[in-house]
Structure 1
Amino acid sequence: MMESPIQYILTAVLYVIYLLGLMVNLIIVAANAMKWKSLKSLQTCDKILISLAISRSLNFFYIIIWNTIFLFFPRLLRNNILLSILNILIMFTFYSSFWIATNLCVFYCVRIVTYNYKLFTFLKSNISTMVTWLIPVSLLISLISSLPFGWYGYGLKLQNIRNENTTEYGLSTAQILKIRFLCFSLGSLPPFLIYCVANLLLIHFLLMHIRQMRSNESHIQSPNMNSHFNALKSMSLFLVLQIMLFMYASIHSSGVLFQLQYSHFIADIIACIPTLFHSLYMISSSREVKKMLTSTCLGLIRCC
């Protein structure tokens, strides 16, 4: 499978991104686990964060296995059962991280926004208890959404096309890509739309609140003002990254780059960047996780 220096370079970049993403999310999990052990409990936000980090870690892990098989053990590609299981696991962890990120955004929105509506009042008083069943429901929906990829994931059925006619092969490929994109859209559009609505509501509320605080000159440099600015920057960044992730994953699943050279490497690299950047940002915004990352890096340097 490795035919040119460009493939070696792209493969190296791909594995560096995957391993870095896996390590970063495992550090987030370890830091929150240690916090859980010391405090004997976790806040609702931390529970969502640890669930998000676990789903992302598993997603990076399964993608590493998939690419290792694709690059170094191509004969295993003939085993449709193995590939179906890997496709389902990859999509399940992707959908899970997508839904849990949406739950996290909804949680922030409900806790911060103070609109005087019955729905917001009900959610604000019950959101902490709702999270305990929102995450299992999200996992169940993710599993159901990922099952079709056992049949129409990543061109598996292309191996079973016995007719060698080029026209029929092209038609079959187009049908598979169309079904795959439809399956991806049905599974990813609901959490993406909910995420965008919750995020935009939160950004709108923060902007309005900042304008009100700016009207009073005595509160321009207040700590509360700075916290609102930080929250606004964080939520805006999360929205941009989530939109990028959805766009890249949609392009990848649609097969638009299917015929381009090195499309597999480039698409995977681009698709992983938003998730990796978001995980790094979560580390930078938490003192406990930054300490864990620093100790991990020092331990690796000593081992080397």
Structure 2
Amino acid sequence: TTDIVQLGVAMIIIGICCLGNAFIILVFLLEYRRSQTLQPYELIVTLMAVSNIGTELDFVVWFVVYLLHFCTYIGETGYKVTHFFTLFLPKTVIWLTAWLCFVYCVKIVKVNWRIFMRLKMRLSLAVKCMIIGTLLLCLLLSFPVVFFLKLKMNSTTICRDYYTDEEKKELSFIYTSLLSFFTSFSPLVLMLVSSLGIVIFLCLHSRNMDTNVTPSGTSHSDAHTSVAIMLLCLIALFVGCAGIALSVNLQIASGQFDVEIVIALSNIIYSSGSPLILLIGMVKLRKSFTKL
């Protein structure tokens, strides 16, 4: 009964996530059709939405297999493939969120640093490099998980009785720690630095913005403030979900696999919460949703 309830809750969250992300993709596809180009931050948000939908579809399979004990039907290889994508896609979304914060920081903050000015001039190229680098990093960090998972095929609960070889337990702990550092802690630092940079810049220049009492200046200031609030909300959501994921990752590394359902739920909550925040925080998405 508990498994059925968990499956039902997960499917409801996944349904909400797919609707929100599909709307984001549709808006920016129409924008690309009109202008034949997307702004760097729009490209990142579009890829976030695509990755979120991929995450949710993968978790549909994972929840059904895990909660209804279908591992005997898909086999160890199928389970490893599913598990790989439950790592790769959410970690990609996290890094894309961090790059979104960074891109907004580059666009909003005005400093006379040479490297900052060059980056602002070549932001589109930089974003493409960020995306490629993110995909390669997440692929490299997610793939080793297939070497640590083994199923106890003679068990009555095969999906929950996978384990790590004794000789690989130390390697598994090191791998999990590296995974947490490069896909949770590092993007969090980038998010915080970028968002705090925006907030500090807006605070320091608020008097100048208030002095220029033109309508365009006021709307510009409001747009920047809205972006800052949106990014802080994304960070708060990420901290909540990543905190759960970090503690559960450490327990999984020590062999407590029965708590893995928690990290799966935290991943789908982040995937469903982030598009809602983006819909509210981004002017273009908010206006499109209002028209709809």
- TM-score, length-scaled by structure 2: 0.81
Q: Is residue 124 of structure 1 aligned with residue 144 of structure 2? A: no
Partner of 2:129: 133
Among candidates 179, 182, 202, match of residue 177 of structure 2? 182
Tell me: CA distance 1:125–1:12, structure 2 relative to 1, closer, same or farther (3 Å).
Answer: same
**Corresponding residue to 1:157 among 125, 150, 153:** 150
Deviations 1:103-157 (A, max 9, x none): 21111011111122222122112212211222112111111111111123xxx33
User: What is the aligned counterpart of 1:250 among 246, 251, 256?
Assistant: 246
Report if the CA contact (8 A) 2:108-2:224 is conserved.
no
The residue that corresponds to 1:144 in the other structure is 140
Percent sequence identity over aligned pairs: 19
Aligned-partner SS, 1:42: coil
Residue segments in structure 2 that go unaligned for 5+ positions in a row: 156-162
Say whether the 8 Å CA contact 1:102–1:192 is kept in structure 2: yes
1:66 alignment partner in structure 2 = 62
The alpha carbon displacement at 1:241 in A equals 1.8
Structure 2 counterpart SS, 1:51 = helix
Letter of the 1:145 counterpart: L
Q: CA 1:171–1:42 in 2, change beyond 3 Å: closer, same or farther?
A: closer
Q: Which segment is superposed worse, 28-37 or 182-191?
A: 182-191
Give the whole-Å Cα distance in 2 for the aligned partners of 1:279 and 1:191: 18
| Deviation readout 1:222-242 (Å, 9 max, x if unpaired) | 434433432332222122122
Between 1:274-283 and 1:173-182, the stretch displaced more is 173-182
Structure 1 residues 185 and 68, CA gap change in structure 2 (3 angstroms): same
Asked if the contact 2:10/2:265 (under 8 Å) is kept, the reply is yes
- Between stretches 230-239 and 44-53, larger displacement belongs to 230-239
Per the normalisation by structure 1, the TM-score is 0.78
Separation in 1, partners of 2:257, 2:182: 26
SS at match of 2:205: helix
Structure 1 residue 38, shift from structure 2 partner: 2.4
- Give the equivalent residue in structure 1 for 2:103: 107
Q: Report the aligned-residue RMSD.
A: 3.4
Partner of residue 34 from structure 2, selected from 31, 38, 44: 38
User: Which of 259, 272, 279 is equivalent to 1:276?
Assistant: 272
Task: Say if 2:48 and 2:96, in contact at 8 Å, map to a contact too.
Answer: yes
For 1:47-86, what aligned pairs fall within 5 Å after superposition?
47-76=43-72, 79-86=75-82
Amino acid paired to 1:102: A
